[in-house]
A and B are shown apart, each in its own frame.
Chain A
Amino acid sequence: MPNYSFILNGKRVSVEAAPNEHVLWVLRDRLGVKGPKYGCGLDVCKACTSHLNGEAFNPCSVPISDIRSTDEITTIEGLPATVGMDLHPMQQAWIDNDVAQCGYCQPGQIMAAVALVQQVRAEGREISESDLDSLRNVCRCGTYWRIRQAIMQGEASMPEATLSKHRHPTVKLAKPKRHSTKAPH
């Protein structure tokens, strides 16, 4: 099997895997990184949401062969270090709002929230209700309303990104580059 090398949570790792293996299973079953959760394997529930070079992505739907040696994957375990803190402000906002119930979806929710804040900042604006409506992550415990509160708190306390995103070449910069589910509210 080929060997793949990339940066995972700030450290270079290398792992043997077949090219078509999805990153989720490389992370969970080969590298033992258990923060990203399986909820569907169909790029629907978003429970596995992690970051690739600072952008939210779903490792259940990306083959390991898409990952280059210069790529940086950040899972929930590596999020605090991206701001040099014990807890990322978004994680603290989650705790302050007592968001989690069973907790299964929350690593993915937090990673999506951080990316959303960074995205709207890049667009020079603040998070709106319709931005919150656009998040697709499923929470079967129904914590959505507290998630909304926490994201707004997290947005207020998140530092400006210190590292500029370096986009992955396979990312097509089509606009809009993510699903829009904007409701009129």
Chain B
Amino acid sequence: MSDLGDRGSTVLEADDDHTGGHSRREFVGYLLAGPILVAAAVHGLYPDSAQALPTVELPVDDFDLTDVLTASSDPTIPLLAVEVGKDNLVTFALPRAEVGQGLTTSVAMIIADEMGLPLDQVTVTLRDAQPDLLYNQLTGGSNSIHSLYSGVRQAAATASAQLNQAAARKFGGAASDYRIEDGVVVGTNGQSATLGELTELAAVSKTTPVRIRLKSASERTLIGTPQGRVDARDSVTGAKVFAMDLDVPNALATMLCRPPTINGTAKSLNNKTQILAMPGVSDVAVIPHTDFVPGGVAVRAQTFGQCIDAIGAMNVTWAPGPVANLSEADVLKTLQDAEIPLTPALPGSTLEQVFTFNFRPGDPLETCCAVADVRADSAEVWGSMKSPIYGQQQIATNLGLPQNAVVAHVVQGGGSFGRHLFNDAPFEAAACSRAFGNKPVRLMWSRTDNFRQGRTHPLNIHRVRITYESSNVLAYDERCTGVACDFTQGLGEAITANLVSFPEANFVGFSEAVFVLTANVPYNFGAVTQLLDEQYQVQQFNTSSVRNVYSPDTCTSTELMVDQLANALKMDPYEFRKAYLRVPRLLTVLEQAAQAGDWGRAMPAGTAQGIAVHQEYKGAAACLVEIDCTPATVNRVIPNGVGGPRVTKAVYVVDVGLPINPLGLQAQMMGGMMDGIAQALTYSMHLVNGAYLEGSWDNAFYTRQWNTPPDLQIIVMPETTGIPGGAGEFGVAATMAATACAYARATGTLPTSFPINHNQPLAFTPYPFEPSTPPSPTNGLTQAF
């Protein structure tokens, strides 16, 4: 078993000449008027990349979704300032969500490093919705560090330059005689002052541009070093505050009885008097289903337990939802009928295959929740929002209030994986608060609500055809046909706002833009076409851009077919990839993974290795897994769970360009890997008559300890490009693909439907559809240990 201590090999050499050529350039920063020192950057673009938006051409090696999102956020970078407090703390209000991906830690590292502060002298908070930030308050596309790194550094450098200036004024000499060491400004003359002592002196009365110099790579002490999360202690002591832990006066527990089919609507509550008479219940209201508010019958009570009891007692008349007559086979048929035809085949041999990727849940462990305090002429909401400006705007519209009458607070989230790009809970909380006669609510979805009315990674099919002649690949054609993936509520607008130069002026919407900007085939495969078609409206099925969006399925389809082709050409899968990869960074991580994972070692029957690569987010990744498909493992008995094949070892190698926090990067890869394993082997939803059967984590089989690889190694490559790429979603695709490839090799069977256990007999008894939230068990003590 490898261990984290092994990360010596992952630690990065600071290299002066390897910083993208801009770290020693001079910049102009801004000092903002005020009583204490507040400093900001002018822009946050990378000098050598996204200054101008080039025409998009496949493959998207050089210009991709990351560039688009960074360009969208850039115009408002000057609004992001670091503030030096009289308490010695430097604070930064992050215009992104923290949902476990570690942004507050990474951004604190960037500021502390640039200013010469210990990490705990920087406080990163989450910013309330601020409409003038436009597209710069979205958390998506694993883009946050890429879009903020340059601007945040410049703001921090501006602040430290001005502190040195203030010290020179206080003690004499030139600013260049001073520097910040360990959080204190010290002079060559032996004088020193704390930041708190200097901040008022450093303040300006009108906004002032100043010339600044960024630290070079060799001057860094934090970036590239493994740092534990800044909220680690709060997480392990129970002190970390999530939305449902907030203490908002009189915000009582609120839940909804929800329809038995997806997006159904409540027509009437037939026993309102009875429900209102139940213990603790103060309010009941029918909340109509709309495009923004999922709705049902809401109940407000002293405790959530009382809400669950009330839901169980409700007699509701429901109108069916828009897909009430559809089951999985119907949807699959619609997709198959809608496939965009492949281009006519070139002469040569062909390999062709269709892969099905079933509906997968997209929701985190913390269920959807938000606090809302709506008044007649104002509203205040709290929730984990990745698109809070959109949330604030829409809540104002829904309530008939001006936008500036709504305050939207972004709270730390218990996971997201793309889910909190959608403000379902804040919208619904505001609607309930209003419906109850403007009473504050703590709205929470139940787990079953989240599975059955939550958002999924949409069902889709991929047809791949490879055309080759002897060892030359002539063409690679892929057609992805799926249920519409929802990119509304802000992310889509941020992507398309800057695509005026996009070559496909008639692209149908956000989905196609995302697909074109992320899909790629990193091999020398001749003429490549990858096309997307989507069916159904986003108001029919609830979907979202779940972690890594299209890439896990695209990558898995590609890599399985690569193995098929290697087999046809009688080549080893690793040797084939080495021979055909056209991206040098991918070749490097591939070789590293093969070496660390001992590719090609002798394996017992029923077990095998698999290897896969993926490029996205300005980075390169490779994954090697070993899988055990022996009967003893596959048939092991898991009470209320599924066994099946087990990934026994996994190696992930990632090159993110410039690693900020290798420990955090390893964490993100690890999480993505668990998602990839789940999507390949066990994790899906079954649609029957307009409803998902799954209602708990013992129905939808996300990776659990018994599926976790006991042997895990994650290697973060040293700095390559000097520009930090994305991380949060980057572990998924290559792991899912490598797991699928390993399964194919271990069993001698090409898997064509994912997860591989999806079409086996249902491994659980579904909860009834009414009541929508099952009562909690009462036999908990029998399970104590």
Given B236, B366, B417, B698, which contacts A44 in the complex, CB threshold below 8 Å?
Answer: B698
Q: Output the least CB separation between A106 and chain B (Å).
A: 5
Nearest-neighbour CB distance to chain A for B226, whole angstroms, equals: 8
Contact status A87-B710, CB under 8 Å? no
CB within 8 A of B99: which of A102, A137, A147, A168?
A102
Which residue of chain B lies nearest to A42 when distances are taken between CB atoms in the complex?
Answer: B696
Q: How far is the CB of A39 from chain B (nearest CB, A)?
A: 5
* Minimum CB–CB distance for A10 against chain B, Å: 15
Instruction: For the complex formed, measure the closest distance between the CB of B105 and the CB atoms of chain A, giving whole angstroms.
Output: 9
Residue of B nearest to A91 (CB): B236
* Cβ contacts under 8 Å, A158 to chain B: none
Q: Are A55 and B785 in contact (CB under 8 A)?
A: yes
Q: Are B415 and A104 in contact (CB-based, < 8 A)?
A: yes
Which chain B residues lie closer than 8 Å to A116 at the CB level?
A: 785
Please tell me the size bucket of the interface on B: 35 or more
- Interchain CB contact under 8 A, A144 and B674: yes
- Bound-complex Cα distance A62 to B237 (A): 23
Q: Which of A10-50 contact B (CB under 8 A)?
A: 18, 20-26, 28-30, 32, 34-45, 47
CA–CA, A98 to B238, complex, Å? Answer: 15
**Complex contact B671–A142 (CB within 8 A):** yes
- Given known contacts A104-B242, A104-B366, is B704 in contact with A91 (CB within 8 Å)? no
Using a CB-CB cutoff of 8 Å, which residues 326-372 of chain B contact chain A?
A: 364-367
Question: Once the chains bind, are B237 and A61 in contact (CB under 8 Å)?
Answer: no
A41 touches B446 (CB 8 A): yes
Please give me the residue from chain A that is nearest to B364 by CB atom. Answer: A140
Whether B696 lies near A134 (C-beta < 8 A) is no
Determine if B781 and A43 form an interchain contact, defined as CB atoms under 8 angstroms apart. Answer: no
Q: A126 in the interface, Cβ–Cβ < 8 Å?
A: no
Main secondary structure of the interface of A (DSSP, over half): loop
Q: Could you give, for residues 85-115 of chain A, a 1 whenever the CB lies within 8 Å of some chain B CB and a 0 otherwise?
A: 0010001001101111111111100100001
Q: When the two chains form their complex, are residues A40 and B783 in contact, meaning their CB atoms are under 8 A apart?
A: no
A98/B671 in contact, CB under 8 A: no
Min CB–CB distance B614 → chain A (angstroms): 17
The answer to whether B236 touches A24, judged by C-beta atoms less than 8 angstroms apart, is no
- Please give, as numbers and ranges, the residues of chain B lying within 8 Å of A38 by CB-CB distance: 244, 304, 367, 444
Q: From B677, which residue of chain A is reached at the shortest CB distance?
A: A142
Please tell me if B208 contacts chain A, counting CB pairs below 8 Å: no
Most chain B beta-carbon contacts within 10 A, residue among A55, A103, A142, A174: A142
Which B residues touch A95, using CB under 8 A? 228, 232-233, 236
Q: How far is the CB of A80 from chain B (nearest CB, A)?
A: 8
Measured between beta carbons, the chain B residues less than 8 angstroms from A134 are: 705-706
A120 to chain B, nearest CB (A): 10
Contact check, B776 vs A61: say whether CB atoms are below 8 A apart. yes
| Known A149-B4, A168-B781; contact A101-B101, beta-carbon cutoff 8 A | yes
B667, A143: Cβ atoms closer than 8 Å: yes
| Interface assignment of B708: CB less than 8 Å from any CB of chain A | yes
Q: Tell whether, in the assembled complex, residue B784 and residue A57 are in contact, meaning their CB atoms are under 8 Å apart.
A: yes
Interface string of B214-238 (1 = CB under 8 A from A): 0000000000000011011111111
Contacts of A181 in B (CB 8 A): 638-639, 641, 704-706
Q: In the complex, which residue of chain B has the Cβ closest to the Cβ of A94? A: B236
A125 adjacent to chain B (CB < 8 Å): no
Which A residues are CB-close (under 8 A) to B640?
44, 179
B100 at the interface (CB under 8 A from A): yes
Given A76-B237, A184-B636: A40 in contact with B229 (beta carbons within 8 A): no
Q: Mark B241-272, 1 if CB is under 8 A from A, else 0.
A: 11011010000010000000000000000000
For A25, list chain B residues within 8 Å (CB). 253, 303-306
Tell me the nearest residue of chain A to B5, going by C-beta. Answer: A149
Across the interface, A106 reaches (CB within 8 A) one of B235, B244, B664, B781, namely B235
Chain A proximity of B612: nearest CB distance (Å): 18
Name the distance in Å between A22's Cβ and chain B's nearest Cβ: 5
- B673 within 8 A of partner (CB): yes
Q: Using A98-B229, A185-B710 as known contacts, list a sample of 4 further A-B pairs with CB atoms less than 8 Å apart, ordered by residue number in A.
A: A36-B238, A42-B696, A61-B776, A87-B237
A-B contact pairs, 20 of them (CB 8 A): A21-B306, A28-B244, A29-B304, A30-B303, A37-B414, A52-B784, A58-B783, A59-B780, A87-B236, A98-B663, A99-B236, A102-B416, A134-B705, A140-B364, A144-B704, A174-B782, A177-B784, A179-B783, A184-B633, A185-B628
A: which residues have CB within 8 A of B? Answer: 1, 18, 20-26, 28-30, 32, 34-45, 47, 52, 55-63, 66, 75-77, 80, 87, 91, 94-95, 97-107, 110, 115-116, 119, 129, 132-149, 168, 170-172, 174, 177-185
